[in-house]
């Protein structure tokens, strides 16, 4: 059971479910429908878990070549490829049906579109071009849309702003990981930007660029009437902190600085979401 749970990448799945929950929060109106909330988050979590399992099934040979992934259930031999494949398919199908019948088919379609883009476009492109990171950021930004659709059965400008924030956030986060594990990625033949351009200059430039772009986009919820001044101040403060970590890594291109960017990104998103939910003006 532990190995099957590991296949679902719980930490990433938790982030996806959290992002869907934020989308639902802004998409709902009137009285809260508890079953709708549960079905939206459960269905999203199941499809995300299935996607993670299928991704590990697809990348099992590459994972065997990387030190940080070689002890995962498939490369270590604790589970067979067929077990992972059918487990992933079952979770994805059940999650899609859960969303379709329990919530609405727009949310279900968005969730399954995320799976398709991630598995059939982003994952194979990782072996071909460093632009895969940009491609992968598209399905990575869809979870707030899923949650919003689950609540409203439509998508508005507010939903797309939430997706834009998540889209931009991913670049510093994943480029930092790519820099930290570039030797591993190189051994596995995965063409991350730090592998293609190992001096790290272009990677640092990308981290800095998206950290800058994230600041004005993260302030849009205030100007669109989604949040209040508390969020505005908090988002600006967090954005400047994120930018500071990007400036530091651009001046000192080391694993230590890349790790600082990663840690900042891990703190940034939950704090931003918390500010959105607990903004006193919305309460």
Main-chain phi, psi angles of 114, to 5 degrees: -60, -45
Kindly report, residue by residue over 255-274, the tens digit of the pLDDT: 899 999 999 999 999 999 99
- Backbone dihedral region for residue 9 (phi beyond 0: left; psi -120 to 50: alpha; all else: beta): left
Instruction: Note the Cα 129 to chain centre separation in Å.
Output: 20
- Here the tokens at position 227 are 């949040």
Q: What is the mean pLDDT of residues 28-35?
A: 90
Arithmetic mean of pLDDT, 63-92: 94
**What is the three-class DSSP state of 33?**
coil
Q: Yes or no: say if 44 and 60 are a contact pair by the CB < 8 Å rule.
A: no
* pTM: predicted TM-score of the whole model, two decimal places: 0.94
Distance, in Å, from the CA atom of 142 to the CA atom of 19, rounded to the nearest integer, reads 9
Question: How does pLDDT run across 118-159, given as a tens digit for each residue?
Answer: 999 999 999 999 999 999 999 999 999 999 999 999 999 999
- What 195-203 contacts at long range (C-beta under 8 Å, 24+ apart), as own/partner pairs, is 195/130, 196/130, 199/253, 200/253, 201/253, 203/175, 203/178, 203/179, 203/253
Cα–Cα distances (Å) from 257 to 165, 204, 216, in that order, read 23, 10, 24
Q: What mean pLDDT value characterizes the chain?
A: 94
Q: At what angle do helices 132-140 and 157-180 cross, to 10 degrees?
A: 140
pLDDT of 108 reads 97
Distance between CA 132 and CA 8 in Å, rounded?
22
In terms of average pLDDT, the best of 100-114, 195-209, 246-260 is: 100-114
Residue 55 pLDDT greater than 80, yes or no: yes
At residue 200, the pLDDT reads 84
Q: Is the pLDDT of residue 163 over 60?
A: yes
**Which of the four pLDDT bands, split at 50, 70 and 90, describes residue 283?**
very low
Residue 135, pLDDT score: 95
Q: What is the pLDDT of residue 281?
A: 60
What crossing angle do the helices spanning 157-180 and 229-251 adopt, rounded to 10°? 30
Count Cβ atoms within 10 A of the Cβ of residue 231 and give its class: 0-12 exposed, 13-18 middle, 19 or more buried.
buried
- Whether residue 282 is predicted with pLDDT greater than 90 in this model: the reply is no
Predicted confidence at residue 280, as pLDDT, reads 58
Q: Which tokens go with 103?
A: 């919530």
Q: Taking residues 55-78, what's their average pLDDT? A: 93
> Could you tell me if 211 and 172 are in contact, meaning their C-beta atoms sit under 8 angstroms apart?
yes
- pLDDT above 90: residue 31: no
Query: Per residue in 170-223, pLDDT tens?
Result: 999 999 999 999 999 999 899 999 999 988 889 999 999 999 999 999 999 999
Q: Over pLDDT 90: what percentage of the chain? A: 90
């Amino acid at each position: 059971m532990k190995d099957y749970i590991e296949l679902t990448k719980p930490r990433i799945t938790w982030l996806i479910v959290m992002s869907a929950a934020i989308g639902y929060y802004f998409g709902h109106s009137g009285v809260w429908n508890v079953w709708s909330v549960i079905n939206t988050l459960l269905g999203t979590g199941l499809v995300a878990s299935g996607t993670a399992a299928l991704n590990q099934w697809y990348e099992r040979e590459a994972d065997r070549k990387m030190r940080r992934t070689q002890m995962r259930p498939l490369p270590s031999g604790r589970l067979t490829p067929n077990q992972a494949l059918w487990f992933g398919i079952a979770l994805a199908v059940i999650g899609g049906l859960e969303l379709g019948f329990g919530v609405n088919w727009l949310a279900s379609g968005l969730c399954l579109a995320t799976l398709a883009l991630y598995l059939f476009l982003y994952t194979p492109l990782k072996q071909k071009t460093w632009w895969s990171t940009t491609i992968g950021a598209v399905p990575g930004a869809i979870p707030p849309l899923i949650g919003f659709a689950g609540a409203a059965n439509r998508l508005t400008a507010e939903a797309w702003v939430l997706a834009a924030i998540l889209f931009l956030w991913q670049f510093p986060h994943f480029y930092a990981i790519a820099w930290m594990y570039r030797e591993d990625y190189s051994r596995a033949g995965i063409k991350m930007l730090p592998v293609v351009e190992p001096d790290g200059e272009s990677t640092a430039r990308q981290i800095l660029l998206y950290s800058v772009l994230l600041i004005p986009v993260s302030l849009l919820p205030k100007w669109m009437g989604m949040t209040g001044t508390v969020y505005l101040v908090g988002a600006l403060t967090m954005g400047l902190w994120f930018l500071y970590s990007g400036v530091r890594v651009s001046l000192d291109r080391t694993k230590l600085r890349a790790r600082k960017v990663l840690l900042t990104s891990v703190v940034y998103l939950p704090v931003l979401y918390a500010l959105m939910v607990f903004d006193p003006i919305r309460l």
